[in-house]
Amino acid sequence: MVRSLLFLVFAITVSAGEPLQRAHAHNDYEHNRPLLDALEHGFCGVEADISLVDGELRVGHDPADLKPGRTLRKLYLDPLRERVKANKGQLYGGKNTEFTLLIDIKSDGEETYRALSKILGEYQEILTGTRDGVTTKRAVTAIISGNRAKETIAADNPRYAGIDGRLGDLESDLDKNLLPLISDRWSSHFKWKGEGEMPADEREKLHTIVKKAHATGRRIRFWATPEKIGVWRELRAAGVDLINTDDLAGLQRFLSEDSRN
C-alpha cells in the first residue's frame, strides 16, 4: 500500500507538458490542482497569494480561502522539491528552464516575510539564492509581490527570494538579482483591450517598456491583461517574458503554435 502511494506521488510529480517559458499561471491556487495543473500544461511560472495565519503561510486570496493546512509548503514548496529531485535538478527533465514562483503577500509584509524567509531556507537546494552578494541560480526563482518588505528582503543574507518591481522601477539601480522582475497592471498603462488592431502608439510604448526592462537584465510581466489571442500575440511579439493567464489550456495552445514560446 505504501509503495503504491509513493508511486502515485512520484507519477504526479513528474507528469508535465512541454515547457513554455512565457506561460505564467495567475492565481494558480484557484485551479483544481494547484501547481500540478500548471505543470501539466508546461507553465514555467505560477502565482500564489499567501497570508500568515496562526503561524501558517496559508494560500488563498480571500479570508474564507485561508484554511488550515492549505499552505505554501504543502501546495508548492514540497511538490516543487520532489519534482526537482526526481528530474535531477530541473523542474522539467532534460530542459534547462527558469521556473518562477511568484509569492504575493496579502498579510503584513514585514511579519509575513520573516516567517517566509525561514521556510524558504529549508528549500535552498532548489531555490535561486544570494549569499554575501553572490547569486546562485537554481531550478526555482522565488519572487515577492504584494506587500513587499523591500528593505528587509534586501538586507536578508542569505536571501532566497527577489522583489517584484513596478514600472516605476524600470530605471532602478537595485541589483537585477534583488529586483529580477517588473510587473504592473495592464489597464494602468494601456487602453487597448484586444479589440481590433493595437494602436501604434501603445504598441510602441509596450516595446519600449520591454526594452528598458531587458536592458537592465530584468524580466517583464503585466497582470489583468485581456484573455484574448490578439493581446497574447502582441505581448509575445514585444518580448514580454511572462504572459499572465487564468486560461491554462488556451495559452498553452497559443504558445505551442510557435517555437518562440
Whether the per-residue pLDDT at 106 is higher than 70: the answer is yes
Residues with Cβ < 8 Å from 232, sequence gap 6 or more?
243, 245, 251, 254, 255
Q: Is 169 or 261 the better-scoring residue by pLDDT?
A: 169
Q: What percent of the chain has pLDDT over 90?
A: 87
Using alpha carbons, select from 53, 43, 55 the residue that is nearest to residue 16: 43
| φ, ψ (nearest 5 deg) of residue 242 | -120, 115
Q: pLDDT tens digits, residue range 24-36?
A: 999 999 999 999 9
Q: Is 130 or 18 the better-scoring residue by pLDDT?
A: 130
| pLDDT average, residue stretch 215-235 | 97
- Reported as a pLDDT band with limits 50, 70 and 90, residue 257 is confident
Q: pLDDT tens digits, residue range 108-156?
A: 999 999 999 999 999 999 999 999 999 999 999 999 999 999 999 999 9
Number of Cβ within a 10 Å radius of residue 62? 9
Domain architecture of the chain: domains with CATH = 15-256 (3.20.20.190)
Peptide bond between residue 158 and the one before it cis (omega within 30 degrees of 0):
yes
pTM of the predicted protein model: 0.92
258, amino acid identity: D
Using alpha carbons, select from 107, 188, 100, 183 the residue that is nearest to residue 149: 107
Q: What is the pLDDT of residue 258?
A: 67
Residue owning grid cell 517583464: 220
Mean pLDDT of the chain: 93
Q: What is the pLDDT of residue 95?
A: 78
Q: Which residues pair with 57 in a beta bridge?
A: 52
For residues 96 and 230, give the distance between their C-alpha atoms in angstroms, rounded to a whole number: 29
Whether the per-residue pLDDT at 64 is higher than 90: the answer is no
For residues 241 and 130, give the distance between their C-alpha atoms in angstroms, rounded to a whole number: 22
Q: What is the pLDDT of residue 12?
A: 42
For residues 187 and 184, give the distance between their C-alpha atoms in angstroms, rounded to a whole number: 9
Residues with Cβ < 8 Å from 106, sequence gap 6 or more?
49, 50, 51, 61, 146, 147
For residue 164, what is the enclosing H or E element?
A: strand 162-165
Q: What is the pLDDT of residue 8?
A: 41
For residues 107 and 109, give the distance between their C-alpha atoms in angstroms, rounded to a whole number: 6
| pLDDT average, residue stretch 228-241 | 98
Q: What is the pLDDT of residue 16?
A: 62
SS3 73: helix
| pLDDT average, residue stretch 220-233 | 97
Q: What is the pLDDT of residue 11?
A: 41
Q: pLDDT tens digits, residue range 153-192?
A: 999 999 999 999 999 999 999 999 999 999 999 999 999 9
Whether the per-residue pLDDT at 225 is higher than 80: the answer is yes
Pairing of strands 242-245, 99-105: unpaired
